[in-house]
Structure 1
Amino acid sequence: MADTSTIAGGDIPPASQTQAEVQDQTTKSSSDSQQPSISLEKETLSFTPSLSTSILLPLTPTTSSALALAHVQRVWDSIRPNSAIYNLLLSDIVLVAAVSHPTGRILAHLTLKPIHLNSKRILHGAVSGTLCDWAGGMAIAASIAGDELKVGEGEQDRQMTTGVSTDMHLSYCSTAREGDTLEVEAWVSRRGRKLGFTGLEIRKRVDGWEKGEKGEVVVVGSHTKYLPFGQKPREAKE
């Protein structure tokens, strides 16, 4: 009787064979193979905000840009008086951090009240949609804060724009209740000539958030905006 068995083309060594013999056979088989060897080298991650914020440095008050945060706050202050829905649902939202580079990003906090809840006393989906709409615009504002703007007619309007919504998607991952504080992070994946693409993550705020600690994800989303002023302008020619 043969002392090896074959399953799916592979030999199974007999139980009496030692580990050293098995290793020797494996090494010999590998050296005889005509398949090219594969070299696994450490890859360097490039910045791809459309995939996830996990490859970015944590956005915290320490890493925030004072210039970007001030600009986003100014844009928000100009929008709020003219939006009944924002005043109703987001009157207590607090911008805590923003950066313009390598892309526009914002971080904000909102503590949930009864007005934010549905009949089951959990976060209403419409509130999540409002947050996605708002945060995408604020991320666009943060990216514009980093532009080298020309002095000229229309530049003030372009500085204050957040674009017009053309598409929005939400995925509800978990939920939150009254008293929970949501951490809303949004970023610009790409700004083209006429469209801006943004991503969103809504999480439960946890202790250590100011050091970059992240809580349970409640909602993830994407928001596309039409940009009437287009992409970053080229430097003015002399």
Structure 2
Amino acid sequence: MSVPHLRTVFQRFLDYKGYDAAILSNLKVVSSTPGSVKCTVPVEKENTNRLGSAHGGWLATIVDVAGSLSVASHGMDFTGVSADINISYISSAKLGETLEIDATCLKMGRRLAFTQVELKAKDKLVAIGRHTKYINEKVLQAAEKSKM
């Protein structure tokens, strides 16, 4: 799906003015193909822990949002709700670095979508996450309406 479509979907996350808008307003969708999306986001002071590294909770939120965008890259405007999420922290990202995010929808089933997200800084793997999305009837109906 096109980058403009994913930027529109992400803008809806921000327009809600909730948690995503509070901590991910600087995330940029860079490129997309069906089932895949690449994004970037700078590590800023409010995204760090007391050691000056990217906060683990912030990185987990990136896995959540980027995984959702990889589902949206299949042409969906709505991406369901989280059923499971996990993240492995490999190394740190420091204040001022830019995270490069590569999210892939590994499988899109009738009710579940399985995603994987890699986060890198300066070509160094920072974290790998997996995110499972439950796609219920309301999401499927909204997706069908948006295609009309």
Return the letter of the residue paired with 1:221. Answer: G
Indicate the SS of the match to 2:86.
Answer: strand
Match of 1:93 in 2: 27
Residue 2 of structure 2 corresponds to residue 68 of structure 1: yes
Indicate the SS of the match to 2:73.
Answer: helix
Match of 1:120 in 2: 51
Return the letter of the residue paired with 1:136. Answer: G
Unaligned stretches of 5+ in structure 1?
A: 1-66, 146-158, 207-214, 234-238
Mapping of residues 21-100 of structure 1, within 5 Å: 67-100=1-34
TM-score, normalised with respect to structure 1 = 0.56
Normalized per residue, the structure richer in strand is 2
Mapping of residues 198-217 of structure 1, within 5 Å: 198-204=115-121, 206=122, 215-217=123-125
Residue 129 of structure 2 corresponds to residue 221 of structure 1: yes
Partners of 2:63 and 2:129 lie apart in 1 by 7
Mapping of residues 159-170 of structure 1, within 5 Å: 159-170=76-87
Match of 1:56 in 2: none
Larger radius of gyration: 1
Match of 1:138 in 2: 69
TM-score, normalised with respect to structure 2 = 0.89
Return the letter of the residue paired with 2:18. Answer: A
Match of 1:109 in 2: 40
Return the letter of the residue paired with 1:88. Answer: A
Partners of 2:89 and 2:17 lie apart in 1 by 25
Match of 2:60 in 1: 129
Partners of 1:74 and 1:175 lie apart in 2 by 30
Partners of 2:134 and 2:2 lie apart in 1 by 21
Partners of 1:163 and 1:137 lie apart in 2 by 8
Deviation beyond 2 Å, 4+ runs, structure 1: none
Query: Quick one: percent identity of the two aligned structures?
Result: 29
Partners of 2:52 and 2:124 lie apart in 1 by 19
Paired residues, number: 140
Mapping of residues 144-163 of structure 1, within 5 Å: 145=75, 159-163=76-80
CA RMSD across the alignment: 1.6
Indicate the SS of the match to 1:95.
Answer: strand
Find 1:183's aligned residue among 81, 100, 123. Answer: 100
Partners of 1:182 and 1:113 lie apart in 2 by 11
Quote the offset at 1:83 in angstroms. 4.2
Deviations 1:77-115 (A, max 9, x none): 122111421111111111100111xxx100011111100
Structure number with greater CO (CA < 8 Å, separation at least 6) is 2
Unaligned stretches of 5+ in structure 2?
A: none
